[in-house]
């Protein structure tokens, strides 16, 4: 083989090596940028969220869900303990190929039905279309159900607030979540939430939210242990002050009949 041919083969060999190197670099960079936790700037908060989501079944399992349905029984109370509203709702969510939701329930002899997708948000009462916009109802229901996975939503700012002792006596790590609807279309409120995670195992214990002019402290009392991901079974919401001092039980939520397809 003459010298010119050797140089040509060597040049091709070097070119192939360079291409392989560049492809590998791009692959590594893609994996780095696709890490959903890297957008959490507060390192302590990032480590807590990683641990709690892993305990809840993992973010990959949450993202794989195609369909999710369940029954939600909710009771709202007056300050004196008397029942304000009591109803049972059927929730159906479809995540793939595009998001849609259906919620139905009966209250005060009126059949309510919500239909939501990327084209329309409709609410019916006894089969008659109303002027109500159910977007907040749909987003709030999914937000609460999808904790702690929803803490990785685009634009959510998370910050560690350190250790606190909850009324149960458990020591917890507190993380504040801030939202900005002006910068993020997927945010529907500016309300700040504080989430509490068990100091030892990062279990999601509850949350505190300021709904002006009042605060609500929500306790997670029971979750599923038979599904690929943890989902709530029993929660209670209390009217409190900013220090979580309880005034009265405001609401109780029970979930059942979960059905998930991947």
Spatial separation of the C-alpha atoms in residues 99 and 143, rounded to whole Å: 14
Could you tell me which of 228, 187, 237 has the C-alpha nearest to residue 207? 237
**135-165 pLDDT tens trace:** 999 999 999 999 999 999 988 999 999 999 9
What's the pLDDT band for 6 if we cut at 50, 70, 90? very low
The set of residues, in sequence order, having a beta carbon less than 8 Å from that of 207 and lying 6+ positions away, is 147, 193, 194, 195, 196, 217, 218
Q: What average pLDDT does range 46-54 have in this prediction?
A: 96
H helices of the chain, in order, are 3-33, 43-55, 59-64, 135-145
> What is the per-residue pLDDT for 179?
86
> What is the per-residue pLDDT for 229?
96
| 3-class DSSP state of 51 | helix
Spatial separation of the C-alpha atoms in residues 65 and 68, rounded to whole Å: 7
Mean pLDDT score of the chain: 87
> What is the per-residue pLDDT for 1?
56
Look at 15-19, 94-98, 194-198 and tell me which has the smallest mean pLDDT. Answer: 15-19
Q: What average pLDDT does range 197-212 have in this prediction?
A: 94
> What is the per-residue pLDDT for 27?
43
Q: What average pLDDT does range 84-96 have in this prediction?
A: 96
**166-175 pLDDT tens trace:** 999 999 999 9
Contact 20, 146 (CB under 8 A): no
Q: What average pLDDT does range 231-251 have in this prediction?
A: 96
Spatial separation of the C-alpha atoms in residues 162 and 72, rounded to whole Å: 33
Q: Is the pLDDT of residue 188 over 60?
A: no
Q: Is the pLDDT of residue 4 over 80?
A: no
Of 103 and 34, more confident: 103
Beta strands in the chain (DSSP E): 67-77, 83-94, 100-107, 110-117, 121-125, 128-129, 157-165, 171-178, 193-198, 204-211, 214-223, 232-240, 246-261
Could you tell me which of 40, 22, 3, 37 has the C-alpha nearest to residue 178? 40
């Amino acid at each position: 083989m003459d010298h010119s041919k050797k140089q040509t083969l060597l040049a091709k060999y070097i070119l192939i090596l360079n291409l392989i190197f560049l492809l590998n670099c791009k692959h590594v960079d893609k994996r780095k940028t696709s890490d959903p936790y890297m957008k959490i700037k507060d390192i302590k908060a990032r480590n807590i969220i990683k641990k709690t989501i892993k305990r809840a079944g993992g973010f990959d399992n949450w993202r794989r869900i195609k369909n999710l349905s369940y029954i939600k029984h909710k009771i709202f109370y007056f300050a004196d303990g008397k029942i304000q509203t009591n109803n049972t709702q059927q929730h159906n969510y479809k995540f793939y190929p595009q998001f849609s939701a259906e919620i139905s329930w009966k209250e005060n002899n009126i059949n309510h039905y919500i239909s939501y997708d990327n084209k329309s948000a409709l609410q019916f009462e006894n089969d008659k279309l109303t002027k109500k916009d159910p977007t907040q109802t749909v987003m709030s229901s999914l937000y609460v159900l999808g904790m702690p996975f929803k803490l990785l939503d685009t634009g959510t700012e998370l910050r560690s607030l350190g250790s606190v002792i909850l009324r149960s006596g458990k020591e917890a790590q507190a993380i504040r979540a801030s939202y900005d609807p002006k910068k993020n279309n997927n945010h529907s409120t500016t309300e700040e939430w504080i989430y509490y995670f068990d100091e030892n195992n990062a279990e999601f214990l509850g949350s505190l939210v300021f709904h002006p002019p009042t605060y609500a402290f929500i306790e997670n009392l029971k979750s599923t242990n038979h599904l690929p991901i943890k989902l709530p079974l029993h929660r209670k919401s209390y009217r409190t002050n900013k220090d979580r001092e309880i005034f009265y039980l405001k609401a109780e939520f029970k979930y059942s009949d979960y059905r998930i397809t991947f």
